[in-house]
Amino acid sequence: MYSQRLLRTTLSLAVLAAIAAPAHAGTTTATDDQAQARKRTTQVLEEIEVRGSREETASSLSPSQTDLDTMQPKSTVSLEWISNHTAPTSDYADIANITPGMSTVNVAGPGLGEAKQMTMRGFNDNQYNVTYDGIPLGDTNDFSHHSSSYFPAKMIGEVSVERGPGGASQLGEATFGGTIAIRSKDPRDAFSFTPTLSYGSYGTELYHFELNSGRLGDGPNSGRVIASAQYNATDTYRTDSQLHRRTTYFKYVQPVGDHTEITLLSNHNYIRFNNPDKTTLTQNQIDTLGRNFGLNNDPTSTDCACYNYQNKRTDVDYIGIDSALSERWHLSDKLYTYAYYNDSHEAPTIGTKASPTNMGGVDKVNNYRARGNVLTLSYDTASGQLRTGLWYERTDNDRYNIKLDYTTGGYDNPKNTTLNGLNNAYKYVMVDFLKMQQAFVEYEWRMTPALTVTPGIRTLQVTRDINAPINQTTRLPLNYSQTWNKTLGFLGANYAFTQNWHAYAQAAQGFLTPNLNQFYVPNPAENKTRPQETMNYQLGTAYQSGRLAADADVFYIDYKNYPLSAVDPVTKDPIFYLAQGATMRGAEVEGSFLIARGLSLFANASTIEARFKNSHLRIPNVPSATAAIGFNYQHAGFTASLHEKYSGGQYAYAGGFNPDIASSVTASAHSGGYWRAAMSLGYGQNLSGSWLKDWKIRLQVDNLFDAKQQVVDSVSGTTPYYLVLPTRSWFASVSFSI
């Protein structure tokens, strides 16, 4: 099966190359000795619907690029790739998945639901960092990131996957696992209005409208605005699991004088969707209900869409200032807020306290708002740059879960009893606060023209306060506060063998305070909750020329106090574990080769071995490897790509095992690795002398070969539960600018 798939992919890639190659006969391409100058200035991320001629290199035609002067592996997915080679419904999880070491599963379709099992080098979603324009984002409960809740692809400027803890200046909660750095789109210098209409599988309709004001005046200090609105409606891959989404985006950039720029940004979302109670399926359910079973419309069934739905509201807003205070001093500051409001009707059951035949369920609410500030200062010296900064954030979180009786139309508490002064139908009610303070200092020391060494330290203080009239799990009252303090060390180095070839090395400490779920006990002070701690080591090399761009690295991570959390697929009860230690080690490589004008071959691969130290068990839900291979073509208005992504096999264990004792595993399951292919085709033209500036049409096909695949997620008793991947999907788009 694997050899047939590889053969089909290879033949398809060869056909694409054969089609594209004749168009380039006799043309001139960049040569190896024409290395591209690397700029330290921030790239402007403005989307051009149809790009004119430009210098083409292996790096510019690759899905992701790295920096030669980096101190850790880094793959940046450009706006060019996002706008031409990903589904219009995608989120940052889908975009990042093309890079080495990344793996994600979306059971609803691209960007049409929260990503499942999104891992980076084996780290789960709450063990790495996500930032938006340098602002760390995360759920205050467990530090996860809700991939589809904030930024649709049409409002993203680039996604940079930084596989490592970064330097001391890399602020965030779980930086040791790496950082997914999302950048917003920038306004253009010229006026444009660009509507985009997309239609595709699952009855998906997407309407996107983008307005660029151009420069608001004639002087050098003229401001610019980009404003977007998007509506997305879809049935998704899973039955009766509709989604409706409205998103608005606004960014205003205003220069002040010659050396200062102020930015205002606002991103708001409203999402309503039906969320299947059966997130995962057994093989028997797959065989009897169908691979795409989600919900139905039978009000006598616990799988009725009428009992399984969610409403979400999210927002991110900030005001930023970037200023060159003098020839040597530079300041950057962002005052921000972001929020996540989720009201979920879920977990329906037959039988309530009022009647064994009544339909019951729960209403679960999780609301949080973060307010914070990120300040950085840099000072240029004769031999390098000194950087220092401070991050402060406070997050307020209200959470409750109350049992319902849909038959009676009220709470599942017919006798109106109380618990701790509240309705006894509440499973939990709590208010918690998370306060984060981090300060750093680092010095980028250019020891020689070829060698740069960057030492740094970061201090952090984290306080979690909980006021719970009814605590989760125990249903006892809890009023508790705990503070953690830690100082972390960082050391990175970069050596330039030549202008085109660099090597780098890094050693860094990591630290993450306990998840809120470790406080679901009568007395957390006696529970001895322990923070996660890591020691990260890695080294690598990167090479860039006109025709070839490549990089490779190896890494080793020593992990102390590794937590695991899961949800029982049958009872829906949370399950928590804590391993004394774990290790992650592996290697990564990626490269791109410019075959002919506009046509490049790219590939990447990674191996990941993640095990608990004491038991030597593999960490569950971690792919053993990742890989990608494909072609990318961009020339004369045509865009095309054909590529395939591989995610390796993984394990899952029955609940209740001790990750430090191998013999405690009573049942396990394994799913093998799988390949999924994707294809994109597009064509557009710039127009002159017309009210229409440009137009573009595009087709995106995911799971091109219509593979039927599933990934093991958990085990209940001895029965494996699977995440079922969608079959082939397609999305067609047309856009124009006036």
pLDDT 10s digits, 637-668 = 999 999 999 999 999 999 888 999 999 999 99
Q: Which of 442, 538, 541 is nearest to 496 (CA)?
A: 541
User: 62: helix, coil or strand?
Assistant: coil
Count of H-run helices and E-run strands, the chain: 5, 37
pLDDT cut 90: percent of the chain above it:
83
Total number of domains constituting the chain? 1
At 525 the pLDDT is: 83
Q: Is the pLDDT of residue 242 over 70?
A: yes
Q: Is the pLDDT of residue 440 over 60?
A: yes
Mean pLDDT, the chain, whole residue set = 91
Distance (Å) of CA 92 to CA 102, 369, 537, 539: 12, 21, 27, 27
| 17-24: Cβ within 8 A, 24+ apart | 17/595, 17/599, 17/631, 20/596, 20/598, 20/599, 20/631, 20/633, 20/635, 20/640, 21/595, 21/596, 21/599, 23/597, 23/598, 23/635, 23/636, 24/596, 24/597, 24/598, 24/599, 24/635
Distance (Å) of CA 475 to CA 79, 523, 526: 48, 12, 18
Average pLDDT over residues 218-228: 93
At 452 the pLDDT is: 98
Q: Is the pLDDT of residue 315 over 80?
A: yes
Output the domain CATH number for residue 327: 2.40.170.20
20-24, 387-391, 480-484, 574-578: range with lowest mean pLDDT? 20-24
3 or 459, higher pLDDT: 459
Distance (Å) of CA 412 to CA 362, 407, 568: 9, 10, 23
At 6 the pLDDT is: 38
CA distance 328 to 379: 5
**Joined tokens for residue 60:** 């510019």
Chain length of the chain: 738
Q: Is the pLDDT of residue 185 over 90?
A: yes
At 575 the pLDDT is: 65
At 401 the pLDDT is: 97
- At residue 551, what is the residue type? D
**Strand 179-184 to 129-132 pairing:** parallel
At 455 the pLDDT is: 98
Q: Which residues make Cβ contacts (< 8 Å) with residue 7, sequence separation at least 6?
A: none
At 524 the pLDDT is: 87
Q: How many CB atoms lie within 10 A of CB 81?
A: 24
Residue 619: domain span? 2-737
pLDDT 10s digits, 267-291 = 999 999 999 989 999 999 999 999 9
Q: How many CB atoms lie within 10 A of CB 380?
A: 14
Both ends of the chain: CA-CA distance in Å?
Answer: 49
Over the range 63-79, which residues count as b (16 or more CB within 10 Å of their CB) and which as e?
Answer: bbbbbbebbbbbbbbbb
Over the range 403-417, which residues count as b (16 or more CB within 10 Å of their CB) and which as e?
Answer: bbbbeeeebbbeeee
At 27 the pLDDT is: 38
At 656 the pLDDT is: 80
SS3 for 346-365 is EEEEECCCCCCCCEEEEEEE
Average pLDDT over residues 415-424: 94
37-46, 184-193, 394-403, 642-651: range with lowest mean pLDDT? 37-46
At 591 the pLDDT is: 96
**Joined tokens for residue 330:** 């530079």
48 or 203, higher pLDDT: 203
